[in-house]
């Protein structure tokens, strides 16, 4: 393995804890990831040595905090191959980044009759803001459907993206199926028709090498907490011309240049979109997560997860009564496996696994239309990250087998 | 019996009676031409249930419970059908109230009227699962209300 998990696990204090008397097996990484000591230390360091408000103070602490905050912006830009730090807006999370685009760009630039193209595998975060905008502006939403392998249907991509399309907003990687979508081809098609493309990178940026210029995307949204970073920090990448022409999102302090009683002018991008005191401490700590992932190398992260997902699928497929959703081939699938066990509701499965120390997600994963598409009310989901190792699947499989024994009608052996 | 699950709380959640109702739910066959159809939905887990209720002389004369849900929601609904059928509406309301009370206090003594519902007491110790247990009852309450107001189909959301 390219990543030495045994060594690396030492960096994550939480992995030493037990749950219900069993070693923690954390397989809920698509929801949020655990944090290495370096990130925890960075947060403590901010509050214990240079806590100050940024951009306005003239004292040493304010300068240090501003320097670190802005250096993190540059680091984010480098991490995703953005041309400049000014392409990076800090938000609270992916959800806020997408809402920012819907409000600041969509409300200004879209008008009745226009179409927004989404897919049936979207997270509610990349669906509901567009529903609201569509109602308000008289836009039409169109949906690229998936096939039985959990892949976007190519003919649907062609059918949906056309002359009326103004925006394609699509997930780079599904948080349920793990499908990695052909977003470069979709971007090309969108651009041919004069439309923009927004990528929901909540799952891709933490797990795959992502380069916004190679992907040729106009907007990219993701969350720090899903990539070893603290909660409360999200990122919106956008092309410079777009940020310039967009309306402000929130307004108040920090985002202004000159304020008069009746009107004001806006600060330069990206600060135009960062109203009020931002989440300075968590942004500074996010810097440490980016360093951590950069040291590991995103190619290695991806290679590690391919191994994990292959092994997980192989082991799960051997359990009688298991259905696995999503692409069969690990090459087109991120480190996520959604599954159901016959006769056992995912919530019950989740509870039994919890008592084996195994944390998975059970539910609709904020993708109710996808659940409907798969004709299930919910699924179990195991999702992996850099610190997971194949030996952890022993506990996963044991827990699943225990659940099967518990909930299936007992077979009388006559004993 | 399940092996290797030492935690007492865990056994309290999945009591044998619950598992039995889960594996073979009672009154599972949907009533035809029921007086009231009430749907229950728990957006948290996507579970959907359907109650079909017949009334006669101020009592619940028949009741079917169906849909998709976890062991707790299915067992709760199944036990409910056994308990409620043939009871006057006022008594059913009282049972519902007692049951809701039980779900908010895991330590309280369980009143005798609740019968087999006592098996669900352990659920109160698992806050994330309480709504699974109460879904059927809240949906039933909506069904009763609907009957009073003379309507037909209702949908309850947790
Ligand atoms: C694909 C996808 N999009 C959006 C989100 C929303 O992220 P957040 O809750 O950090 O805003 C998530 C995670 O929950 C996700 O997996």
CA distance A169 to A100: 13
Q: List all residues 6 or more positions away from A377 whose beta carbon is below 8 Å from its beta carbon.
A: A364, A371, B45, B46, B47, B48, B68, B69
Mutate to test the pocket of ligand 1, among A93, A171, A202, A383 (most ligand atoms within 8 A of CB): A202
pLDDT value at position A125? 98
**A158: burial class by Cβ within 10 Å (0-12, 13-18, 19+)?**
exposed
Look at residues A399, A26, A316 and name the one whose alpha carbon lies nearest to residue B5: A399
Which residue, among A20, A344, A346, A348, would best test binding to B if mutated, counting the most B CBs under 10 Å from its CB?
A348
Domain assignment present for A412:
no
> In chain B, positions 91-130, which contact chain A (CB-CB < 8 Å)?
126, 129
Look at residues A41, A42, A44, A61 and name the one whose alpha carbon lies nearest to residue A53: A61
Do A290 and A308 fall into the same domain? Answer: no
Domain assignment present for A148:
yes
Mutate to test the pocket of ligand 1, among A32, A172, A223 (most ligand atoms within 8 A of CB): A223
Residue pair A176/A126 in contact (Cβ under 8 Å)? The answer is: no
CA distance A319 to A397: 8
Q: Topology of domain B26-151, per CATH? A: Sufe protein. Chain: A (3.90.1010)
Three-class SS state of A68: helix
pLDDT value at position A318? 96
Helices (H) and strands (E) in chain A, counts: 16, 17
Do A389 and A247 fall into the same domain? Answer: no
> In chain A, positions 169-228, which contact chain B (CB-CB < 8 Å)?
none
Task: Give the Cβ contact number of residue A241 at 10 Å.
Answer: 10
Going from the Cα of A123 to the center of ligand 1, the distance in angstroms, rounded, reads 7
Note down pLDDT in tens along chain A; length 415 residues: 589 999 999 999 999 999 999 999 999 999 999 999 999 999 999 999 999 999 887 899 999 999 999 999 999 999 999 999 999 999 999 999 999 999 999 999 999 999 999 999 999 999 999 999 999 999 999 999 999 999 999 999 999 999 999 999 999 999 999 999 999 999 999 999 999 999 999 999 999 999 999 999 999 999 999 999 999 999 999 999 999 999 999 999 889 899 999 999 999 999 999 999 999 999 999 999 999 999 999 999 999 999 999 999 999 999 999 999 999 898 999 999 999 999 999 999 999 999 999 999 999 999 999 999 999 989 999 999 999 999 999 999 999 999 999 998 765 554 4
Do A15 and A104 fall into the same domain? Answer: no
Domain assignment present for A415:
no
Domain assignment present for A99:
yes
Q: List all residues 6 or more positions away from A241 whose beta carbon is below 8 Å from its beta carbon.
A: none
Strands (E), A95-195: 115-119, 140-144, 165-171
User: Which residue has the CA at smallest separation from atom 12 of ligand 1?
Assistant: A202
**Backbone φ, ψ for residue B149 (5° rounding):** -85, 0
For residue A88 and ligand 1, the question of a CB distance below 6 A is answered with no
Which residue carries 């992932």 as its tokens?
A293
Which residue, among A377, A397, A399, A410, would best test binding to B if mutated, counting the most B CBs under 10 Å from its CB?
A377
pLDDT value at position B7? 52
Give the Å distances, CA to CA, from B138 to A193, B76, B91. Answer: 51, 11, 15
Q: Residue B40: which H helix or E strand, with range?
A: strand B36-42
Domain assignment present for A347:
yes
Going from the Cα of B116 to the center of ligand 1, the distance in angstroms, rounded, reads 42
CA distance A29 to A33: 5
For residue A33 and ligand 1, the question of a CB distance below 6 A is answered with no
CA distance B72 to A144: 36
From A279, A294, A309, the end of a domain falls on: A294
Going from the Cα of A74 to the center of ligand 1, the distance in angstroms, rounded, reads 23
Domain assignment present for A34:
no
Maximal C-alpha separation, chain A:
87
pLDDT value at position A389? 97
Three-class SS state of B136: helix
Which residue, among A18, A176, A351, would best test binding to B if mutated, counting the most B CBs under 10 Å from its CB?
A351
Catalytic residue set of A: 366
Do A47 and A11 fall into the same domain? Answer: no
Do A238 and A280 fall into the same domain? Answer: yes
Low-confidence stretches of chain B (pLDDT < 50) are: 1-6
pLDDT value at position A29? 98
Locate A149 and state its tokens. 């392998």
B150 to chain A, any CB pair closer than 8 A? The answer is no
Do A111 and A223 fall into the same domain? Answer: yes
How many distinct structural domains can be found in chain A?
2
Residue pair A390/A311 in contact (Cβ under 8 Å)? The answer is: yes
Nearest residue of A to residue B72 by CA position? A348
pLDDT value at position B5? 46
CATH number, domain of A290, equals 3.40.640.10
Going from the Cα of A85 to the center of ligand 1, the distance in angstroms, rounded, reads 23
From A294, A318, A350, the end of a domain falls on: A294
CA distance A258 to B34: 68
Q: Which residues of chain B does A355 touch, with a Cβ-Cβ cutoff of 8 Å?
A: 5, 7, 10
Locate A388 and state its tokens. 């997971």
Alpha-carbon dihedral sign for residues B5, A17, A94, A219 = negative
How high is the ipTM of this complex?
Answer: 0.85
Nearest residue of B to residue A372 by CA position? B46
CA distance A363 to A376: 10
Q: List all residues 6 or more positions away from A33 whose beta carbon is below 8 Å from its beta carbon.
A: A206, A225, A226, A227, A228, A385
Domain assignment present for A414:
no
Which residue carries 């009154």 as its tokens?
B27
- Domain ranges for chain B, please list them: 26-151
pLDDT value at position B4? 47
CA distance A144 to A151: 10
pLDDT value at position A254? 86
SS3 of B50-110: the string is EEEEEEECCEEEEEEEEEECCHHHHHHHHHHHHHHCCCEHHHHHHHHHHHHHHHHCCCCCC
* Enclosing domain of residue A373: 5-29+298-407
Three-class SS state of A297: coil
DSSP structure class, residue A286: H
pLDDT value at position B3? 47
Do A213 and A342 fall into the same domain? Answer: no
Domain assignment present for A375:
yes
Starting from the edge strand earliest in sequence, which strands make up the sheet with B59-68, in order?
A: B59-68, B47-56, B36-42, B153-157
pLDDT value at position B47? 84
Helix crossing, A280-296 with A60-79: angle to 10°?
A: 40
pLDDT value at position B108? 83
The answer to whether the pTM exceeds 0.95 is no
Q: Is A292 left (phi over 0), alpha (psi -120 to 50) or beta?
A: alpha
Do A226 and A286 fall into the same domain? Answer: yes
From A252, A270, A294, the end of a domain falls on: A294
Which residue carries 């009564």 as its tokens?
A321
Do A311 and A359 fall into the same domain? Answer: yes
Q: How do residues A263-319 score in pLDDT, each as one tens digit?
A: 999 999 999 999 999 999 999 999 999 999 999 999 999 999 999 999 999 999 999
Q: Across the interface, which of B5, B45, B71 has its CB nearest the CB of A363?
A: B45
Do A46 and A22 fall into the same domain? Answer: no
Do A208 and A329 fall into the same domain? Answer: no
CA distance A23 to A72: 35
DSSP A205-262: HHHS---HHHHT-SEEEEEGGGTTS-TT-EEEEE-HHHHHHSPPSS-SSSSEEEE-SS
CA distance A231 to A217: 25
Look at residues A284, A337, A341 and name the one whose alpha carbon lies nearest to residue A309: A337
Locate A399 and state its tokens. 């827990």
Do A161 and A121 fall into the same domain? Answer: yes
């Amino acid at each position: 393995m390219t990543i030495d998990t045994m060594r690396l696990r030492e960096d994550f204090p939480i992995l030493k804890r037990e749950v219900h008397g069993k070693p923690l097996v954390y397989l809920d990484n698509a929801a949020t990831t655990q944090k290495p000591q370096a990130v925890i230390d960075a947060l403590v360091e901010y509050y214990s040595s240079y806590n100050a408000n940024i951009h306005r103070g003239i004292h040493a602490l304010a300068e240090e905090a501003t320097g670190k905050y802005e250096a993190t912006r540059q680091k984010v830009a480098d991490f995703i191959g953005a041309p400049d730090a000014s392409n990076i807006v800090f938000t609270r999370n992916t959800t806020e980044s997408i809402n920012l685009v819907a409000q600041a760009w969509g409300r200004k630039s879209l008008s009745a009759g226009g179409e927004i193209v989404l897919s049936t595998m979207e997270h509610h975060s990349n669906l509901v803001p567009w529903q609201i905008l569509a109602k308000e502006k008289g836009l039409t939403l169109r949906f690229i459907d998936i096939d039985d392998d959990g892949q976007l249907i190519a003919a649907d991509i062609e059918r949906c993206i056309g002359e009326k399309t103004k925006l394609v907003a699509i997930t780079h990687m599904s948080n349920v199926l793990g499908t990695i979508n052909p977003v470069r081809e979709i971007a090309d098609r969108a651009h041919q028709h004069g439309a923009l493309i927004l990528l929901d990178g909540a799952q891709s940026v933490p797990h795959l090498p992502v380069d916004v210029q190679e992907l040729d995307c106009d907007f990219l949204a993701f969350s720090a907490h899903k990539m070893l970073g603290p909660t409360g920090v999200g990122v919106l990448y956008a092309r410079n011309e777009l940020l310039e022409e967009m309306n402000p999102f929130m307004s108040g302090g920090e985002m202004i240049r000159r304020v008069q009683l009746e009107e004001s002018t806006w600060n330069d991008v990206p600060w135009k979109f960062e109203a009020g005191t931002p989440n300075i401490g968590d942004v500074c700590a996010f810097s440490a997560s980016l360093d951590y992932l950069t040291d590991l190398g995103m190619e290695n992260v991806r290679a590690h997860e391919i191994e994990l997902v292959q092994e997980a699928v192989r082991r799960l497929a051997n359990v009688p009564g298991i259905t696995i959703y999503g692409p069969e081939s690990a090459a087109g699938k991120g480190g996520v496996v959604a599954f159901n066990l016959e006769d056992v509701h995912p919530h019950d499965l989740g509870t039994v696994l919890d008592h084996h120390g195994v944390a998975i997600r059970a539910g609709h994963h904020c993708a109710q239309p996808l659940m409907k598409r798969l004709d299930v009310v919910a699924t179990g989901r195991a999702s992996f990250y850099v610190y997971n190792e194949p030996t952890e699947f022993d506990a996963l499989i044991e827990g699943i087998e225990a659940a099967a024994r518990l909930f299936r009608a007992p077979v009388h052996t006559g004993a | 019996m399940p092996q290797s699950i030492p935690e007492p709380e865990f056994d309290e959640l999945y009591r044998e009676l619950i598992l039995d109702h889960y594996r073979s739910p009672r009154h599972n066959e949907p009533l035809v031409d029921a007086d009231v159809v009430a749907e229950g939905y728990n957006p948290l887990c996507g579970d959907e249930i359907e109650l079909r209720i017949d009334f006669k002389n101020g009592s619940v004369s028949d009741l079917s419970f169906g849909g998709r849900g976890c062991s707790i929601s299915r067992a709760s609904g199944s036990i409910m059908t056994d308990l409620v059928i043939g009871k006057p509406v006022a008594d059913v309301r009282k049972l519902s109230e007692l049951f809701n009370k039980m779900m908010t206090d895991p330590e309280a003594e369980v009143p005798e009227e609740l019968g087999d519902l006592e098996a669900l007491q352990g659920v109160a110790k698992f806050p994330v699962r309480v709504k699974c247990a109460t879904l059927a009852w809240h949906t039933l309450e909506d069904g009763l209300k609907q009957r009073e107001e003379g309507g037909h189909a209702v949908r309850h959301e947790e």
